[in-house]
Amino acid sequence: MREKFDLSGRILFADVIASSTDRIECLGRFVQLRGVPVLDDWLQEAHKGKTGDESSPKESDKSTEELLLALLRALDKLPVNLNALHTCNIGKSVNHLRTHRNLEIQKKARSLVDIWKKSVDAEMTKINDAKSGGSNQAMT
């Protein structure tokens, strides 16, 4: 059974990933176990204002921005690779935040998009090198 996290629980969860976990194998395992799509769902809900928080609109905006920042920090910490980007819409979700009204969210989203683009380019280069190297070796 999948438990529902309230807004403060989501913030806490994302903060734990972002600041308390330094072991790359744990972070990688989180990605392997399809944790990124869960974070993507939360990111999309927060961006659309559907966090289900019952506080006043001003407090809710502040809490939503806090959640968005916590999620972006967590995503920055995770080893998000090409496969993770293909399994959900996390790239699009983060890209949408580049125009958010909060400048800190914009900056973090832009930084993540740039990092992911470089990572994907490097991964694609490796894949293409392996393919072309393998075919050259097969011919000789």
- Would you say 6 and 67 are in contact if contact means Cβ atoms under 8 Å apart? no
In tens, the pLDDT along 84-134 reads 898 899 999 999 999 999 999 999 999 999 999 999 999 888 888 888 875
| Region class of 52: left (phi > 0), else alpha (psi between -120 and 50), else beta | left
User: Given this model, what pLDDT does residue 1 score?
Assistant: 34
Task: State pTM to two decimals.
Answer: 0.82
Domains and CATH numbers, the chain: 7-115 (1.20.930)
User: Given this model, what pLDDT does residue 48 score?
Assistant: 82
User: Given this model, what pLDDT does residue 14 score?
Assistant: 95
